[in-house]
Amino acid sequence: MIDETASGPEKTGSRLVWEALVREGVDVVFGYPGAQIMPTHDALPEYPIHHVLVRHEQGAAHAADGYARASGKVGVAMATSGPGATNLTTGIANAMLDSVPIVCITGQVPSHLLGTDAFQEVDITGVTLPITKHNFLVTEAADILPTLRRAFEIARSGRPGPVVVDITRDAQQATAALRAANGAVRSRSYRPAHAPDGARYAKAAEMIRHAERPILFCGHGVILANATEQLRDLAHLAGIPVAATLLGLGGLPASDPHYLGLMGMHGMPWVNHAIQRADLIVALGMRFDDRVTGNIRRYAPYAKIIHVDRDRAEIAKNVRVDLALVSDVGEALRALLTTVAKTDRSAWHAEIAAVRREHDLPAPIDDGKLRGDDVVREIWRATEGKALVVTDVGQNQMWTAQLYAQERPRKLITSGGLGTMGFGLPAAIGAKFACPGDEVWVVAGDGGFQMTAAELSTVAQEKLKLNIAVINNGFLGLVRQWQELFYEKRYIATPMAGPDFVKLAEAHGLGGIRVTERSHVRRAIDRARRSPETTVIDFRVEQMDLVYPMVPAGADIGQMILRPNQHRTEKP
């Protein structure tokens, strides 16, 4: 329980909302006003918090998400009741699946109208119950401060995630004492801390010592735990190669000699080969989802598995586990560093290197045509890999994951578990507020970009500097890829018309560039980087290009479809 017994001056519930946010160190909120949250918005000018007016509430949730991922702090979104609140749900689900700490504050109809189907009444706590870490309905002004304090603690502790706080209008308008918060937030039923006993770490060290072909998996949990240095130290000490999940990219610098690359459906062939050959997997803060494992029955057939995760529910959920360490990844790595012996595994590294030489990604196709992967490669070269990159979902996302080598954590922001098209632009807005000094690039397809292109108005109003690369192939690219490979080229509902993106940018007072030739890519990127204003670059790329490599759904991860001038890494 929270000790808030010391009374202070009386304040309205709406002011208590902002008091709570100031106490939590919040300096920016992404939102959209409406009738039932209006009292809270009305009190905002008294507080040092900047409100960013998005153009759709989904954009608010994604912006809060991007802010949280880039900063490591809790992001905040705000909306009114009914459609305002329900429009947040896609962003809430996205944060839930990717373990991102956000707090969404929604207005609700007055408490005496609850359950009457009043205008714009929706049971948002009921709606969001399956997609939040926790949620609250607040009907008394006195409960606002302690509830928001608890919401922030729940959002950022343990396995992070979204929390919804729904506050009735009468609670916002009533008054209550401003109380001092004393002591830690405690709850009888919420115990996020776990500490495995020393015997488990000793067992893990023994398994690592006896393994001939071990591999470390860098999941999102490594980044959330700020444990990148510990991961590097363990990899070097024990001589273990490191593979990354999509959300784990940046957990170990791509230039590190122990780094292998991306695993899974669109991962690197040598990485998936190493997984299928490994005799030990040490999985750090990841879920073993289907895009990582492929056919689960033939996944890593020789490997014992040590699974480290804060969330006990993830252990052995998808794969068998030989040793579970329910722990913060950073704490687990620090413990292992005191018990694991220095080991030479040069033979194992040499085996993987040989596979990489045989199956490395081919050089860019030099036929003069403009392709999506050319765009990503050139952005990486121009920025020297130092930009903060936010992707949308689809082919653009996979090319970026494969080709924009990440050297630092929290510099690739992408929708993993939910795969939310439209995520890129609003998430980049949040990321820019989190890291105003960073060069921020949005890489999006024309489909995902159109889903939330209205947020260009937010970019213009806030005078933000973003660089936006639209890989425009006139299709829902990744869906079309599946249609080509597995549906006999029946392109149903995937050809996509779109607006003139250059004119759309200019209509917002932003810069716009169109690129149709490969030789003009670098010139456009450099021009966008030099410009003081946000610039949208419409890259008109080859329509029928595919993302390679690729594991077909349900196949073993060793059965990768490579470019036609390559061959499979394993026989089917």
- Rounded Cα distance, 383 and 88, in Å: 33
Element (H, E) at 11: strand 10-12
- Rounded Cα distance, 102 and 151, in Å: 9
- Rounded Cα distance, 70 and 62, in Å: 12
Sheet containing 467-472: order of strands: 412-413, 388-391, 440-445, 467-472, 535-540, 511-515
> For residue 439, with 0-12 CB atoms within 10 Å meaning exposed, 13-18 middle and 19 or more buried, which class applies?
middle
131: which 2 tokens? 């997609």
List of residues 6+ apart from 350 with CB closer than 8 A: none
- Rounded Cα distance, 301 and 296, in Å: 10
Place of tokens 């020789």: 302
**Phi then psi for 538, rounded to 5 degrees?**
-95, 100
Beta bridge partners of 28: 50
Q: Does the structure show a pLDDT above 50 at 233? A: yes
Q: Does the structure show a pLDDT above 80 at 3? A: no
CA–chain centroid gap for 238, Å, is 29
The dihedral over CA atoms of 347, 352, 355, 360, expressed in degrees to the nearest 10, equals -140
User: What does pLDDT average to over the chain?
Assistant: 94
Are the C-beta atoms of residues 424 and 442 closer than 8 Å to each other?
A: yes
- pLDDT for residue 514: 98
Report the range of poorest mean pLDDT among 4-8, 462-466, 508-512: 4-8
What are 116-159's pLDDT values in tens digits?
999 999 999 999 999 999 999 999 999 999 999 999 999 999 99
- pLDDT for residue 366: 75
Confidence of residue 565 (pLDDT cuts 50, 70, 90): low
Question: What would the CATH number be for the domain defined by 372-540?
Answer: 3.40.50.970
Beta bridge partners of 102: 75
Pairing of strands 280-284, 259-262: unpaired
CA–chain centroid gap for 212, Å, is 33
- pLDDT for residue 570: 42
Q: Does the structure show a pLDDT above 60 at 1? A: no
- pLDDT for residue 359: 85
Q: Does the structure show a pLDDT above 70 at 4? A: no
Confidence of residue 183 (pLDDT cuts 50, 70, 90): low
Q: To the nearest whole percent, how much of the chain has pLDDT over 90?
A: 90
- Can you tell me the mean pLDDT for 343-367? 89
Q: For residues 195 and 150, which has the higher predicted lDDT (pLDDT)?
A: 150
List of residues 6+ apart from 277 with CB closer than 8 A: 213, 302, 351
Beta bridge partners of 283: 217, 307
- pLDDT for residue 5: 52
Does domain 10-177 correspond to CATH entry 3.40.50.970? Answer: yes
CA–chain centroid gap for 341, Å, is 34
- Can you tell me the mean pLDDT for 53-75? 98
Report the range of poorest mean pLDDT among 50-64, 151-165, 528-542, 545-559: 545-559
- CA max distance for the chain: 74
Three-state secondary structure string covering 467-533: EEEEEECCECHHHHHHHHHHCCCCCCCCECCCCCHHHHHHHCCCEEEEECCHHHHHHHHHHHHHCCC
Q: Does the structure show a pLDDT above 50 at 554? A: yes
Confidence of residue 104 (pLDDT cuts 50, 70, 90): very high
- Rounded Cα distance, 430 and 470, in Å: 19
- pLDDT for residue 258: 98
Domain boundaries, the chain: 10-177, 198-359, 372-540
378: which 2 tokens? 């050139």
What are 268-326's pLDDT values in tens digits?
999 999 999 999 999 999 999 999 999 999 999 999 999 999 999 999 999 999 999 99
- Can you tell me the mean pLDDT for 234-260? 98
- Fold match flag (198-359 vs 372-540): yes
- Can you tell me the mean pLDDT for 468-478? 97
- pLDDT for residue 449: 98
What is the homologous superfamily of the domain 198-359 according to CATH? TPP-binding domain (3.40.50.1220)
- Can you tell me the mean pLDDT for 5-27? 91
Residue of 265, 217, 519 whose CA lies nearest to 397: 265
293: which 2 tokens? 């494992």
Within 193-252, strands assigned E span 214-218, 242-244
With H, G, I as helix, E, B as strand and everything else as coil, classify residue 158.
coil
139: which 2 tokens? 């009907």
- pLDDT for residue 363: 72
Place of tokens 């990503």: 376
